[in-house]
Amino acid sequence: MERRGTRVTTDVARVVLRRLLPSWRHPARVVVTAFATVIAMGTLLLLLPAAAEPGAQTGFVTALFTATSAVCVTGLVVVDTPSHWSTFGELVILGLIQVGGLGIMTIASLLGLLVARRFGLRLQLTAQTETKALDLGQVRRVVAGVVLISLAFEAVTSVVLAARLGLAYGYDTGQAVYFGVFHAISAFNNAGFALYPDSLMRFTTDAWICLPIIVAVVAGGLGFPVWVEIWRRRRGRKRWSLHAKITLLTTTALLVVGTVAISAAEWNNPETLGGLGIGGKLLAGLTHGVMPRTAGFNSLDIGQMESGALFVNDMLMFIGGGSAGTAGGIKVTTFALLAFVILAEIRGEPTVHVMGRRLTASTQRQALSVALLSVGAVVTGTLLLLTFTPFGLEAVLFEAVSAFGTVGLSTGITANVSTAGELVLTALMFLGRLGPITLASALALRERTRRYELPEERPIVG
């Protein structure tokens, strides 16, 4: 009787909550509202006099831009982080980065689990149950897993960076730990905020600084579901899911292509790689092959890069990293799925097969929708920036893609755009961080069966 009474009470509570909070039926609304609330709180904290250095003035748009960049783990800045913000302000930014990174990984993982349960599929995060809803135990396991993975990578990276700064650069213990922790959290969350005015340019040839940051960036960009599968494979599981295969293979391919392309384009450029030795060129090339995954750190002057290298950056930033990770962009899975669709069409195949599995028509439509709407957002943002700023197309396009892909790389124009331009970039960061995730989940959760079909007709294509 007691169990039955508890169950009735729980059911009544759910009904009441649904009546009072109808928006909770729509996960996309919850995600957008939650992130907007955190950004608003961060903006208010950054407006406090204690958040800025003595004598520095922080306007509302500057605080809003910085809070959005931190929560959306982008890294674009309109004021120099170490010189404008006080230690309190830097800690606020660091907290916003951590909340934004953990939040996006958790929310994306839970939405993926919800979508999978909606169609009765087995997601490789938890065991399949009979209900389509997420129970409290599943939510706890996902949240705990995200936190543990994040803290583990951040802790290891912090130790390596702090040790290097202390031993090689003479930082005292407290300063080394502070700088190590800040850059480790910023790296794993793909934020790109740095406590140096030149980002990582002073460490261009220092492998003990660049490599740990590279590892943290890639780890954060893979996504929680992939790390779950990697962990389970260590315990004897032999089969990879299609999502993990696509994410790992595409990520590896893009890292190789990005590193080779950028290194080749900048190899003899005296303003970037030209003045370095072979080892320095290879390390800096690898760094800049990884960072467009949405990390935002730079060990070379982006503004001095050749047009070919900038265009490669544009493409890599737009694609981004893995789903349910800290990276932005349309995601490597979306990019790969569209490539498989095109390949199947070229071959004249009636269905799309990927690594022993068949893609549903709805998955193909969702990937196409995310990609085309993202292109539309970048094009619109670029046109607005061209209208509101005096800069050329190459720099403006780079800035728009960087903001939408939540990357944080810049050719150096961010601090010089107008107030209207800052607001455009703020909107692009927010849309780029939440748009692909909420759109994909909303499309999947809204899918329903059509009871009739209209007569078929084929218009001319091409």
Residue whose C-alpha is closest to residue 336's, from 356, 320, 348: 320
Per the domain annotation, does 229 fall within a domain? yes
Whole-number pLDDT of residue 109: 64
* Statement: residue 409 has pLDDT above 90: yes
| Count of domains observed in the chain | 1
Would you place residue 313 in the very low, low, confident or very high pLDDT band (cuts 50, 70, 90)? very high
Q: What is the DSSP letter of 189?
A: T
CA-CA distances (angstroms) from residue 330 to 26, 40, 215, 220, 320?
Answer: 22, 25, 21, 16, 6
H or E segment and range at residue 353? strand 353-354
Per the domain annotation, does 454 fall within a domain? no
Whole-number pLDDT of residue 132: 39
- Higher-pLDDT residue of 24, 441: 441
Residue whose C-alpha is closest to residue 103's, from 39, 15, 176: 39
Length, in residues, of the chain: 462
Give the best-scoring range by mean pLDDT among 146-155, 177-186, 219-228.
Answer: 177-186
Whole-number pLDDT of residue 121: 40
Per the domain annotation, does 328 fall within a domain? yes
Calculate helix-pair angle for 136-169, 224-234, nearest 10 degrees.
90
Taking the CA atoms of 151, 152, 156 and 157 in sequence, report the sign of the dihedral they define.
negative
pLDDT in tens, 1-44: 444 544 555 555 555 444 444 444 556 677 778 888 999 999 99
Whole-number pLDDT of residue 7: 52
Whole-number pLDDT of residue 224: 81
Whole-number pLDDT of residue 226: 86
- Mean pLDDT across 434-450: 63
Classify residue 21 by burial, with Cβ atoms within 10 Å: 0-12, 13-18, 19+.
Answer: exposed
Whole-number pLDDT of residue 81: 93
CA-CA distances (angstroms) from residue 82 to 194, 252, 429?
Answer: 8, 34, 22
What the block records as the tokens of 11 is 């059911």
- Mean pLDDT across 394-418: 93
Whole-number pLDDT of residue 19: 46
- Higher-pLDDT residue of 15, 361: 361
The percent of residues in the chain predicted with pLDDT above 90, rounded, is 59
- Mean pLDDT across 372-397: 94
Backbone dihedral angles phi then psi of residue 408, each to the nearest 5 degrees: 105, -5
pLDDT in tens, 323-336: 877 888 999 999 99
Whole-number pLDDT of residue 230: 85
Whole-number pLDDT of residue 125: 40
- Mean pLDDT across 248-253: 95
Whole-number pLDDT of residue 302: 95
Let me know: does 123 contact 225? Beta carbons within 8 Å: yes
Let me know: does 419 contact 385? Beta carbons within 8 Å: no
Q: What is the DSSP letter of 358?
A: E
Identify the weakest region by mean pLDDT among 144-148, 195-199, 204-208, 317-321.
Answer: 144-148
- Higher-pLDDT residue of 30, 120: 30
CA distance 78 to 80: 7
- Higher-pLDDT residue of 357, 11: 357
Per the domain annotation, does 4 fall within a domain? no
* Statement: residue 131 has pLDDT above 80: no
- Mean pLDDT across 377-395: 94
- Higher-pLDDT residue of 6, 47: 47
CA-CA distances (angstroms) from residue 283 to 117, 141, 296, 304?
Answer: 43, 38, 16, 18
Range of the domain at 418: 16-445
Mean per-residue pLDDT of the chain: 84
CA distance 108 to 190: 16
- Mean pLDDT across 411-417: 92
Whole-number pLDDT of residue 448: 60
Per the domain annotation, does 396 fall within a domain? yes
Identify the weakest region by mean pLDDT among 355-369, 389-403, 405-419.
Answer: 355-369
Per the domain annotation, does 452 fall within a domain? no
Give the best-scoring range by mean pLDDT among 102-111, 195-204, 366-375.
Answer: 195-204
Let me know: does 328 contact 224? Beta carbons within 8 Å: no
* Statement: residue 83 has pLDDT above 90: yes
Identify the weakest region by mean pLDDT among 85-99, 110-124, 266-280, 345-359.
Answer: 110-124
Identify the weakest region by mean pLDDT among 10-24, 117-131, 216-230.
Answer: 117-131
Let me know: does 399 contact 411? Beta carbons within 8 Å: yes
Q: What is the DSSP letter of 456?
A: P
- Mean pLDDT across 349-368: 87
CA distance 333 to 357: 14
Would you place residue 382 in the very low, low, confident or very high pLDDT band (cuts 50, 70, 90)? very high
What the block records as the tokens of 139 is 């939510």
Per the domain annotation, does 148 fall within a domain? yes
Per the domain annotation, does 11 fall within a domain? no
> What Rg value do the Cα atoms of the chain yield, rounded?
23
- Mean pLDDT across 362-388: 91
Would you place residue 128 in the very low, low, confident or very high pLDDT band (cuts 50, 70, 90)? very low
249 CA to centre of own chain: 18
